[in-house]
Amino acid sequence: MISLGIESTAHTFGVGIVTDKGKVLANVKDSYSTKTGGMIPVKMGEHHIEVCDRVLKEALEKAGIKQEDIDVISFSISPGIGHALRIGAVTARTLALKLKKPLVGVNHCIAHLEIGRMLFPECKDPVLLYVSGANTQVIAYDGGKYRIFGETLDNGAGNLLDSFARFTGLGFPGGPKIEELAKKGKKYIQLPYAVKGMDVSFGGLLTNLKNKYKTRKYKVEDLAFSLQETIFSMLVETAERAMAHCEKNELLLGGGVACNKRLQEMCRIMCQERDAKLYCPENQFLVDNGAMIAWTGLLMHKAGISIKVEDSAVRPYERTDDVLVSWRN
């Protein structure tokens, strides 16, 4: 069985093709980016309209299959930016109608967790630390749903890194630039550490950091280093608390920020200390990608879940725990 999945919750338009044996035949994407000004939703939608046809063709070519070989069509139905979500949805509906194949709407956050379980079959029941541009959540399965045990109360960690990088003229995306700069930082500068129960908050930290930068009293390398050490400690603390609370001993990483080697190292140390296992997918599966939508759609399809085209409106605000996870037991 072959599943095609379309990702379009935010800046990335991606098409993935996977088999029911968990083999990824293609995982192609094109991401919208700007040097200044941030993500403009309308422009993001226009970008996806421009690239959707080419990305789809490239994925089919890479997989060495024809449209007719596809058995299931999935798309990210939630959560995300409406302008972006709708383009993926239109592409998926068109294919489903044309090919007369079942259509499945997938929650993006859940897909980050399911692709990890596909890539690491021994990773059965992890706590997911999902850290991306817009999202920062600690998610685990409990009582038939993927529940959010902790999350950011304001910005996503990636948005924080991108905002500071823009402010200091490092450019976009900021995460990798800050990671490089942080390697040269030596001095830890105290920054607000805001963990509230299992939730985190970054707003005050960003203001504090910008104010410190403006005084010109601190080296930007030291600020980058301190920024990473502070926010990654917050993330590791909340992930560890969720693992202890849920009595789970597997940690899975997801989201673009999880590409960061220092965050991976800190997670590895925490896991070693509590005799748990860390699972970190390669970068192409950490960032937003079509393969994770294709795989989760396939799992849902096998459990009898599909959606009629006329009921397939996108759900920009759907929460991870709104979804009944009937494909797991």
Residues at the interface with ligand AMP (CB under 6 A): 12, 132-133, 158, 161-162, 173-176, 179, 255-257, 259-260, 287-288
Letter for the amino acid at 141?
Y
Tell me how far, at minimum, the Cβ of 112 lies from Mg ion, in Å.
6
Burial (Cβ within 10 Å: 0-12, 13-18, ≥19) of residue 254: buried
Print the binding letters for residues 286-305 with Mg ion: x by CB under 5 A, - otherwise.
--x-----------------
Tell me how far, at minimum, the Cβ of 249 lies from Mg ion, in Å.
25
Listed ranges 84-92, 126-134, 199-207, 320-328: which one lies at the site for Mg ion (CB under 5 A): 126-134
Reduced to 3 states, what is the DSSP secondary structure of residue 17?
A: strand
Tell me how far, at minimum, the Cβ of 76 lies from Mg ion, in Å.
9
Look at residue 173 and give the partner it binds from ligand AMP, Mg ion, none, a contact being a CB closer than 5 to 8 Å depending on partner kind.
ligand AMP
CA separation (Å) from 263 to 120, 164, 242, 285? 20, 18, 17, 16
Listed ranges 47-55, 144-152, 161-169, 281-289: which one lies at the site for Mg ion (CB under 5 A): 281-289
Q: Give yes or no for residue 132 binding Mg ion (CB under 5 A).
A: yes
Tell me how far, at minimum, the Cβ of 133 lies from ligand AMP, in Å.
3
What is the crossing angle of helices 174-182 and 157-167, to 10°? 80
- Nearest CB to Mg ion, comparing residues 91 and 132: 132
- Report whether 51 contacts 86 (CB < 8 A): no
- Nearest CB to Mg ion, comparing residues 132 and 136: 132
What is the crossing angle of helices 220-246 and 157-167, to 10°? 180
Look at residue 115 and give the partner it binds from ligand AMP, Mg ion, none, a contact being a CB closer than 5 to 8 Å depending on partner kind.
none
- Report whether 19 contacts 313 (CB < 8 A): no
Look at residue 80 and give the partner it binds from Mg ion, ligand AMP, none, a contact being a CB closer than 5 to 8 Å depending on partner kind.
none
- Nearest CB to ligand AMP, comparing residues 45 and 256: 256
Give the interface size with Mg ion as a residue count (CB under 5 A): 2
Tokens of 254: 């997801």
d(CA 75, CA 319): 16
Burial (Cβ within 10 Å: 0-12, 13-18, ≥19) of residue 12: buried
Look at residue 151 and give the partner it binds from Mg ion, ligand AMP, none, a contact being a CB closer than 5 to 8 Å depending on partner kind.
none
- Report whether 86 contacts 52 (CB < 8 A): no
- Report whether 278 contacts 271 (CB < 8 A): yes
Tell me how far, at minimum, the Cβ of 315 lies from ligand AMP, in Å.
18
- Nearest CB to ligand AMP, comparing residues 94 and 283: 283
- Nearest CB to ligand AMP, comparing residues 60 and 111: 111
CA separation (Å) from 79 to 84, 107, 220, 243? 11, 7, 34, 25
Which residue ranges make up the site for Mg ion (CB under 5 A)? 132, 288
